[in-house]
Each structure stands twice: as structure tokens, then as C-alpha cells.
Chain A
Amino acid sequence: MSNVTTASSTEAKWWGGGKSPFNVEYGKVMMWYFLMSDAFTFGAFLISYGTVRFSTNGWPDPNEVFRSFPFAPEGVHAPLVFVSVMTFILIVSSVTMVLAVHAGKNMDKNGVVRNMIWTIIGGIAFLSCQAWEWNHLFHEGAWWGQNPFINADGTASSTNFTNFFFTITGFHGFHVFSGVVINIIMLIMTLTDKFEQRGHYLMIEKAGLYWHFVDLVWVFVFTCFYLL
């Protein structure tokens, strides 16, 4: 952080040459650009969902669809409860990821290992929750091309609702899955002293960017499907 403040305190010609105009490492810039393209992919999915929803007269009530909880008695009505658990799991795992990045900046190997393990546990917990929810919805008769839930106003629904739900949460879940795999690789590299030998933990920062992005996308997915 200190080099940023010194660099921006003078009126510098950033593009005049001889300086790094972004002052971040190449891999990190590329991670940002990848995340930007990924944001457009998710954005396209969510906007098409919104467009279809706006072009339809009725839509299922999310509080009727997502009302169950694991180990809860049959027919329990607990809307928003399970998804709030999932949201908090992802927020907490994002926090432990920040702590891992911070420990990496201090060359604190034990801190990185500890926080990476928590982050991985959080990711796996989220995936398990999602697997349970998908399984539950499947047994209620919901799947791509099949929608057992009627619209909130009591009229017949189309399969748009389930198609978008499974496609978008599935795409997000796949991102979580690859994030967990990346985090496990980072953990192994930390444990085998790869980053100690390199003298920096920049890879943890890049994995961290990806992981926070996954959390960021969930903020939007969660709001669009469960709250609105």
C-alpha cells in the first residue's frame, strides 16, 4: 500500500513509459480481466432471466418453492432460512480468504494454511448445501424442463423458472467447485513451501480474487432468485 501512496502523490505521467501504469503484477491484471469477462457471462444469464420474467404474466413465488430445510419435518414452511445459511457460509469463507491473503503478505505460512483450510471447508459446506437443495427440488419434481410449482397468482407456470434456476445456480456452483479445487492446489503449494521459495504469496492473492468473485456472484444470484 505504501508504494501506491508515494506513486500517486506526485502528478505522474502514467503512460509516459518507465513506470508500471497499473502497479500490479501481470497475473493479477489478467485475473481481473478474466473476472470481468466472467462477470459479463453471469450478467448475460441474469439479464436473460430478468427479461423472460418481465415478459411473462406470472412467476412462481420463491417463498413457496424454497421453503425446506435439511432434517426438518415434512411439510415445514421455512422460506429464506436455508438460503441465508448458505449466504453466510459464503461470506465467512470470503472473510477467511481475505485473512489468508493478508497472512500471505506477511509471509506468515501458518496463517495462510489455517485460513485456506477454513476457506476450503466453507466452500465444501456451500456445495453440500447446494447439493442438498438440488436433490430436494428434484424429488419435488423440479428439473430442467419440469416445473411442479404454480405461479404466485395461482395460474399455470412455464418451465422458464426451473430452467433458469438450475442453469444459473449450477453455473455458479461449478464456479464454487473450481474455486475449491484452486484453493486446495494453493494449500498444497503452501504446504510444500512453493511460495516460501518464490519469496511471495501472490498466487494466494489471485486465488483470493477468484474466490471473492464467486461470493460476489452469489450476492446477485441470491437476490435475484430468492428475494425478488
Chain B
Amino acid sequence: MAHTHTAEENKAVIAEIKKVTIILSVLTIVELILGFWMIGMQNAGLKLAIKGSIVILMMAKAFYIVAYFMHLKHELKNLIMTIVVPLALFIWFICAFLSDGNSFRNLRNTYNPYFKEQSTIKVEKKEGAHDEKAIEQK
């Protein structure tokens, strides 16, 4: 069962591992740069665009981990399909549930004055350690 690689195959595998490691690190660094850039940003549209890019980078990272580290890219198409096709359900899950959450928020903002009011009242920043807070509550 064990299939030992030749020296050349070895080199190719190691080169691939190095390549994927560099790609993953670079993607993570770009994500972090975008994250730092977003700190304190007021422009909502730009913020949304950055968040979208971060999600795309996240999917790219996931692809590289699954395809190369988990070796799925080098498996037979049959196996790839049994794993990837069911995961396509997530597309539906994400669309359905996030839009449901969004519509629930709109409904509450329209019909629940208390909910709406709560989101306009500014509060003081809560201070204090865990134990003190517990005492305060009593």
C-alpha cells in the first residue's frame, strides 16, 4: 500500500507545500491589513466593500487548505464531488438565514418601538472586573 516517492516527486511535493504556505501567509497578512485599515472607519460603503473582500480572501484560504493540505485536489473526481456538492447547501443556508435575520430586524424596527428606541440610546461604558460586576448586579 505504501507508495514511496522518487526524489523528483519528493521535490515537487515539498515545492507545493512551500508554495501553499506562502499563499496562506500572504492571504492572512492581506486580511489583517484590511482589518487594521477598517479600524475607526466611518465610511459604511467602503467598510462593506472591505468586509466583502475579506470574505473572498477567507474562501481562497479555505480552498488552498482543502485542495492542497487536505489533498482533495489530487483525489479522484468521484470523491471530490461527494464532498463538495453537499457543501453547496451552505450557499442556500447563508442566503436564507442572513436575509431572514435582516428581515426580522426590519420588522422589529417597524413594529417594536421599544426595540427601535433601545438602539438609539447611548449608554455609559461599563467598567469593572468580573467579580465586582457580579456584586453590583445583586
Contacts and interface: CB of A to CB of B under 8 A. Distances in A.
A95 interface: yes
B79 A32 contact: yes
B100 to A, nearest CB: 6
Contact of A154 (B4, B76, B123): B123
Interface of B: 1-5, 9-10, 13-14, 17, 21, 24-25, 28, 31-32, 34-36, 39, 51, 54-55, 58, 61-62, 65-66, 69-71, 74-79, 82-83, 86-87, 89-90, 93-94, 97-98, 100-102, 104-105, 108-109, 115-116, 118-123, 125-126, 128-130, 133
Measured as residues with beta carbon below 8 angstroms from the partner, the interface class of chain A is 35 or more
Contact of B21 (A95, A201, A202): A95
Leading 10 A-B pairs by shortest Cβ distance: A54-B101, A57-B119, A51-B101, A55-B101, A55-B104, A154-B122, A200-B2, A22-B79, A223-B58, A51-B97
A99 B17 contact: yes
Interface of B is mostly: helix
A121 interface: no
Interface string A87-125: 110010011011100100111000000000000000000
A1 B120 CA distance: 60
A171 interface: no
Contact of B75 (A24, A44, A56): A24
B126 A150 contact: yes
A97 B10 CA distance: 16
Contact of B126 (A2, A23, A84, A148): A148
Nearest to B72: A32
B104 to A, nearest CB: 4
Contact of B35 (A1, A24, A226): A226
